[in-house]
Each structure stands twice: as structure tokens, then as C-alpha cells.
Structure 1
Amino acid sequence: MNKLFKFIAISEGISYLVLFFNMLVIKRFDLELYKSLLFPIGMAHGLLFISYVALAFIIWKNQQWNFKEFCIVQVASLLPFGTFYIEKKYLKNA
């Protein structure tokens, strides 16, 4: 389960950055490409985000996180590079 969470954390972070790239860069140059990529990228990011949050709840006790660490893991899902930090700091033994 820890390896799955590590994979989801990295994938969620990458999808977040790709979504930002699509919104901030591609939109400026090619509006049609932006519109065609928005739904699939957004859907993938949404599913990965929900998976990240749900798996964090599931492995909370398995990793023996206290409530503060659990909150840090959850808040990191909202920051652009937060999941990469969590993967390095809290999931290094996975």
C-alpha cells in the first residue's frame, strides 16, 4: 500500500504541474490545444487528487503518523510541489 501511495503522490504532483502548465503557458499560444487538453488533464488530476487524499486516510495508522504529520500530508496535496516533499520526507521507506 505504501508503494501505491508513493506512486500516487508523485503522479498527483506531476499532474498538478501539467495542469498549471496547460493553464498558464499553452493557453497563451494555442487556445484550441488548451481546450482539447483541459478536460483529460483535469480529470486525471482530479482522480489522482482524490486517490491521494483517500490513500492518506487509509495508511495514516500504517505509517504511524501523528495528527500533525497527517495534516501536513493532506495540506501538501494543495501545494504545487508539496507531494514531492511528502514523498521524500514521509515515504522514503516505501
Structure 2
Amino acid sequence: MKKYFVSSAGRLRLYAFLEGVSLLVLVFIAMPVKYLMQDPTWVQVIGPIHGALFLLFVFGAITVGVEEKWKFWRTTWIVLLASFIPFGTFYIDWKILRHLQQPA
């Protein structure tokens, strides 16, 4: 677990996981409860948490993009776009981010 806190790439992987989970909870639990049961409580609780995690993910992705010298329109943009798609951050973590932490 310590490996997720010692580098920007590790923190981005942690942000990606948390942001992805919060998006799934918001889309697949909170929103149906709000509209099917007329109870907005879940959205009022999860929404701001997801928003904060989303901002952490965006700032983390830009930071890692600059550190890794990613091409903005090729890699950074794809990583940022993944945060709008359910399960997108998990795919990006598996496809791109996990390779950043492998020992040299």
C-alpha cells in the first residue's frame, strides 16, 4: 500500500481507483435511488465526494502527464477522458498507469 503514496504515479493510481468507485456508486446506486425511490440523500452525500475525487484525479493526471512528458492529445487527454466513463479509470490504470510504477 505504501507504493501508492511515494510517487505522483502511485497517487494517481489511487485517485483513479477511488474516483472510479465513486462514479460507479453515483451512477448505479445513488441515481437510481434518487429517481426510482424519490430519495436524493445518496446523491447529496456521494456527489460532493465524487466531485472532490474527480478534481484530485484531474490534477493528478496533469501532474503525472507533465512529469512523464506525455503528449497531451495522445495520453493525457485519454487518461482524463476515462474519468467520465464508468469503469474507464480501471481500464486506464490497467493499460497505462500500472506501467509507470514498475521498477527500473
TM-score range, shorter chain: 0.7 to 0.9
Question: What one-letter code is carried by the residue in structure 2 that aligns with 1:4?
Answer: R
- Aligned match of 1:72: 78
* Secondary structure of 2:76's aligned partner: helix
* Displacement of 1:70: 1.1
Runs of 4+, deviation exceeding 4 Å:
none
The corresponding residue for 2:23 is 16
Shift of 1:55: 0.8
Percent of matched pairs sharing the same residue: 37
1:62 maps to: 67
The TM-score with structure 1 as length reference comes to: 0.85
- How many residues get paired? 90
RMSD in angstroms over aligned alpha carbons?
1.4
In structure 1, runs of 5+ residues without a counterpart are none
Matching residue within 22, 37, 46 for 2:51? 46
Shift of 1:51: 0.7
Bigger relative contact order, structure 1 or 2, given CA contacts below 8 A and separation 6+?
A: 1
Structure 2, unpaired ranges of 5+: 1-7
